[in-house]
């Protein structure tokens, strides 16, 4: 089976690119399930109901989250009611929604998708290693293949997580930095990984934001409100080919589709 994972959708431009390009990309690659990180899909930060609806109707099967997921209070009911819109699993239990879901593909494969956030250089959250370990134990026998979106800043933390769960979580990838890494690969016990999928958004900005608003922060220490960049866009992610019976990943392929402004 093939699992397509796309990095952080950033603002209206990223949302528009996903809305028009996601279903054709899914068809082109023959993906059985599409997982999209949507924590930045709103015009500022966070995920609003409209953006989530657009992504799900455009071909996404599961939306994962990150440190901005719960910025919009109007979305809390959505997190509670929709099993396929996730916030980080290692957030406090009192937070709206949940951090994992079980998705069944058309061929009957049960896929566990978990959304996690890192601790290094990030806002406070429970230990992602411990939370993932407990979740795998609780759901043992209820899934065939496990997938983890590790939303984190530090490469070392992501790599440590990948190695720790090699052979137990088939597909593991990082999100959050908005920069696609070139380190996709296979681990000794059969898992596939990439440190960061990159983003779905404008390619000429600074991580999807207008350059001048970011540069000012560095050159004058005057913080201006970040405005989303405009221009050509790209959908960035990775395609994982997984053996359905063993859960062993056969191939990891970086994906980038560019679209003119």
Pairing of strands 33-37, 199-202: unpaired
DSSP assignment of 155-208: HHHHHHHHHHTTTTSSEEEEESS----S--EE-TTS-EEES---EEEESSSBTT
Residue 107, classed as helix, strand or coil, is coil
**Residue 243 CB contacts under 8 Å (≥ 6 apart), including other chains:** 249, 250
**What distance in Å separates the CA atoms of residue 179 and residue 181, rounded to the nearest whole number?**
6
What is the torsional sign of CA 87, 89, 94, 98? positive
Question: Hey, which residues are catalytic here?
Answer: 68
Q: Residue 55: which H helix or E strand, with range?
A: helix 49-57
């Amino acid at each position: 089976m093939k699992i397509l994972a796309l990095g952080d959708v950033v603002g209206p431009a990223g949302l528009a690119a996903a809305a028009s390009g996601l279903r054709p990309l899914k068809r082109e690659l023959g993906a059985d399930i599409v997982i999209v990180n949507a924590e930045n899909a709103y015009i500022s930060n966070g995920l609003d109901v409209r953006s989530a609806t657009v992504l799900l109707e455009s071909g996404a099967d599961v939306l994962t989250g990150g440190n901005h997921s719960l910025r919009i209070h109007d979305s809390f009911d959505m997190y509670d009611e929709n099993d396929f819109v996730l916030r980080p699993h290692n957030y406090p239990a009192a937070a709206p929604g949940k951090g994992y879901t079980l998705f069944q593909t058309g061929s009957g494969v049960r896929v566990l998708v978990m959304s996690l956030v890192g601790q290094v250089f990030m806002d406070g959250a429970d230990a992602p290693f411990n939370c993932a370990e407990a979740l795998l134990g609780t759901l043992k026998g209820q899934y065939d293949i496990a997938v983890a979106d590790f939303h984190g800043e530090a490469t070392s933390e992501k790599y440590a997580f990948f190695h720790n769960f090699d052979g137990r979580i088939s597909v593991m990838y990082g999100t959050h930095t908005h920069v696609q890494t070139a380190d996709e690969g296979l681990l000794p016990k059969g898992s596939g990984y990439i440190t960061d999928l990159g983003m779905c958004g404008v390619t000429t900005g600074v991580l999807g934001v207008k350059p001048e608003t970011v540069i000012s922060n560095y050159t004058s220490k005057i913080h201006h409100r970040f405005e989303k960049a405009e221009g050509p866009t790209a959908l960035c992610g990775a395609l994982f080919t997984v053996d359905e019976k063993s859960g062993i990943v056969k191939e990891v392929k970086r994906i980038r589709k560019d679209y003119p402004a």
